Amino acid sequence: MKKVYLIGYMGSGKSAIGKRLSFSTRLPFYDMDTEIEKRLGMTIPEIFEKHGEAYFREKETEFLRTFRNENCIIATGGGVAMRRENRELMRSSGLVFYLNAPFRDIWRRISTDRNRPIVQRSTRIELEQLYNERLPHYLKAAHFKVETENRTLRQVTEYLAFQIGRLKGDI
């Protein structure tokens, strides 16, 4: 069996849903952002501030290359699908689910959060542009697109658990 990756824009629910999905599937859960923070002993804003975004992107790829071979659920960072190497690493080691949410929902969730350096340095218009730029990359990376609009965390989690159960033999 392989890994289950959750991908999508900031605030699409990867971390929140990954955690819940771990309970219903009984698979261990890892949040890439948290794992990188642990490896470096710094928060994401500190990593961006001290080493820059390019360094953080290297650490993301390093994580995907080296993370233990275990059946598990991984909530990725919002920018992970932008690199071709990352997309290939994910697709070849598991099932990739893209959590799609409309930008207005995303904005409501992330606009006041201080833990996302990209939100801190960008305007609403810039974040919407980035959302549109990233969309085709998420679609390329994903095996499945999951619509989250008007669905509770619980509903999205149940849907994913159902799909994972159905596809278990393949992963």
Ligand X SMILES: O=C(O)C1=C[C@@H](O)[C@@H](O)[C@H](O)C1
Residues at the binding site for ATP are: 11-16, 116, 151
Which residue number, 120 or 167, has a Cβ lying nearer to Mg ion?
A: 120
Cα angle: 79, vertex 134, 103; to 5 degrees: 100
In the sheet where 73-75 sits, what is the strand order? 29-31, 73-75, 3-7, 94-100, 144-147
Which residue number, 70 or 113, has a Cβ lying nearer to ligand X?
A: 113
Which residue number, 11 or 94, has a Cβ lying nearer to ligand X?
A: 11
Q: Is 15 in the site for Mg ion (CB under 5 A)?
A: yes
Binding site for ligand ATP (CB under 6 A): 8, 10-16, 33, 75, 77-78, 109, 116, 148, 151-153, 156
Q: Binding residue for ligand X (CB under 6 A) from 37, 100, 117, 158?
A: 117
User: Residue 13 touches which of Mg ion, ligand ATP, ligand X, none (CB < 5 to 8 A by kind)?
Assistant: ligand ATP
Please report, as a single letter, which amino acid is at residue 171: I
Burial status of residue 40 (CB atoms within 10 A of its CB: 0-12, 13-18, 19 or more) = middle
Q: Under a CB-based contact definition with an 8 Å cutoff, are residues 114 and 44 in contact? A: no
Number of residues that bind ligand X (CB under 6 A): 9
Cα(80)–Cα(84) distance, integer angstroms: 9
User: Residue 86 touches which of Mg ion, ligand ATP, ligand X, none (CB < 5 to 8 A by kind)?
Assistant: none
For residue 164 the two structure tokens come to 């994972």
Q: How far is the CB of 3 from ligand X (least distance, A)?
A: 17
